[in-house]
Chain A
Amino acid sequence: MSEPILSARDVVVKFSLRGQILTAIRGASLDLYEGKTLAIVGESGSGKSVFTKTFLGMLDANGWVDSGSIMFEGMDLAKLKTEREWLKIRGKKIAMIFQDPMTALNPLRTVGMQIQEVLELHQGLKGEEAKARTIEILGQVGISDPAMRYHQYPHEFSGGMRQRVVIAIAVACNPRILICDEPTTALDVTIQAQILELIRGLQKKLGLTIIYITHDLGVVANVADDVAVMYAGDIIEYGTAEEIFYNAQHPYTWALLSSLPQLGIKGQPLYSIRGTPPNLFNEIKGDAFAPRNPRALKIDFVKRPPYFQVSPTHYARTWLLDPRAPKVEPPATIKAMRAKYARDAI
């Protein structure tokens, strides 16, 4: 396997909140490969957004990277401190798009100016040249009559169109990595597919590496090469999309997949994960998911599991993979998935 273009190791992110320290990311690691699409999945508050924000230095003012490294182009992003250093990365090398396109654009400036701003900032284009390039990019993201649209304001665009504009802003400078923070959550289903298709097309054309942050496993199945599952500020399982869907190892991944309506078994109530995620103000002992895991082992409450390798591309942080662990049966849905996978493989 080739060198990763971005490699995060044991990243710890802390926030100071009302005098208390909250550990939002607890030593998460991640490798990102050129041209691939990685999806980070997990429930709300699991730290998906916060983790990727550290790649851009966009944590809120009360948060900081406490330890760990994020290697990108020979630089350790975790060590960058000043805004000036970040400005060389943000928007230029690593770009990000956000969930709600309705509010992501400045309502008082024309759409064209908002894209052009990036070009002027990072590529030094000016005047007519910048304008021509902006119109070209607008066309590229599928906006018809871009020369006219250039002069319009965001309120004259629909939600899907605005997300196209946001994408145009993000890709205007040919970044190497594009982080999409739930890019389709706020859009209706028909538009969702179009936006995913657009991102896929741009990825091919521009050779982008993409990180999707989502809790929609449907989107994951649709777009991802690799999947990272996050729980309570940690990546607990990492593998190719196929490995995660058909050969999941971590009990949390099992639980997540079992609660998918599409995988549910007819006539049986839909599975839901009991309990609530751990309080990140407290120190978490052992496996963070253990208190909600009906199959938890004794050691899960005592010692944090290391990553066990399942295949060269597949890792999971669960004691179940330790050779000494007792045999634990996965839930029925997971067994069905595995069986289907085994059948297809033959």
Chain B
Amino acid sequence: MREGAGTLLRRVGLSGVLLILLGVTSLFAEFLAPYRYDAVRFDLPYAPAVWPEMGKGGLVVPVLALRDPVRRRYVKSGRTVPLRFFCRGEAYTMWGIIRSSRHLVCARSPGRFYLMGGDLFGRDLFSRLLYGMRFSFLLSLLGVAISFSIGTVVGMVAGYAGGWTDRILMRLSEIVMAVPALYLLMGLRSIVPYGLSSEAITLIITGSLSLIGWASLSRVVRGLVLSLSGRDFILSAVAAGASPARVIFRHLLPNMRYYLLVSVTLSIPAFIVGEAGLSFLGLGLSEPHPSLGNILAESQSLETMNSAPWLLASGGLIVLLVVLFNRLGDLLREVPGEGNGSHR
């Protein structure tokens, strides 16, 4: 058991372990977040972080009082509420199946536990970041799955069939790559009507990002197929009368799988940043649903940056995720004996 964990750490490194931790954390956002992402407190705009203190009878959360409503200065009112663990708070339905109202921590109103501060509507930033991070993870995994399936199939077909099929498919990928990605995203977004549900918007963003992502991947796969096709073991398989399906699934794919894994990892940041960028511009997920992009968009104005600099943390979280995925990709590429063969 211990050996297994050690191997995992050696294979995916610290960045991989951290990513798994973040992913699991965000999966349980409903339980771990003290509040729902849309739980407002209009009396506490841009509340600063309030951390628990030791009081009598255990940990307590100080109750904030708005001293200066114009400059949004807060003081501790002197009252406290107890901080409780595994307590009953707002009801939720986790993953659409588990109904519960248990939270890891809660503080009863009028107190409120702001681990990282709050936004204009007094919503808890920490909770919103958890939900936003989950959205980023799910969207990028879904997007990668789509663009990868398309890219691999197109690349395989182009590389294996050659001739006109190859030419047409590759021109098609060039067309996609010749349009600046952000402009293409904006163009796609502008033909979709406004006022759609958040689920529909999610699908549209994911679809548009995948529509862009498959092109470069298909070229990579095609190159791999072409370079592998000349190798002896492929030639002998073909000479032995293996069907194209058998050659592809038994010989080509297994030999490319490691390289594909590396490209998957390295292409995830594009999805995270792409979604965040669209939501930042107000073209992606819209309020009250949190995404790392639209949380960052709240801190666009200088006033907000001054009175609530903690909202910039969502940008920091984006950077963290991107760095971790990039590190993981580099690490996988450097694993000795695999992936760093002739094609890098």
* A is bound by B: no
